[in-house]
Amino acid sequence: MISFLKRYIWPLLAASLATTLLASIISSQRVANALGSIGAKTSFSDRLSMTIYDAQHFGSIYGIFIFIALLIALTTALLIGRKKTSLQLPLFMGAGFTAMLVMLLIMKQVFFGVPIVGGARDLLGFLLQGLTGALGGWVFYKLRKPKAASQYLQK
């Protein structure tokens, strides 16, 4: 059981957290940029407080969806890449990228065609959210290595 936690659950949680934090930060900054483009003044302090607030509040809800999406995608990639360890990194990163995009598309459908994540309402924002999932796949890959996982868990 401990081995399962170290080799799967810990990397999945870390990947979800990294993805959630970066996705929330990117979304906040894209919304702040959009506000600026319509004439609203946003100082560095405003951007910082908005980002922290979004990471805590929006991120706590968004993180649940991200965790579920990465759970499905990374488990699938893990099963596919079991025999070919040389393909695991691109598989995990691709799975994370795809998971975020599919999740955002599903969320849009569920919420009556409204893109619920403000920072993903255009193509660039949508793709940036996908890249956060790729980062999550990378984190998962790095922490799944027995040496790496034990290094962080034994401290």
Residue 38's pLDDT is: 87
- Give whole-number Cα distances, 132 to 38, 50, 100, in Å: 27, 19, 8
For 77-125, write each residue's pLDDT tens digit.
999 988 888 899 999 999 999 999 999 999 999 988 878 888 888 999 9
pTM of the model: 0.86
- The pLDDT value recorded for residue 149 is 46
Query: Quick check: 43 pLDDT over 90?
Result: no
Residue 42 has pLDDT above 60, yes or no: yes
Range of the domain at 29: 2-153
pLDDT in tens, 1-18: 566 667 889 999 999 999
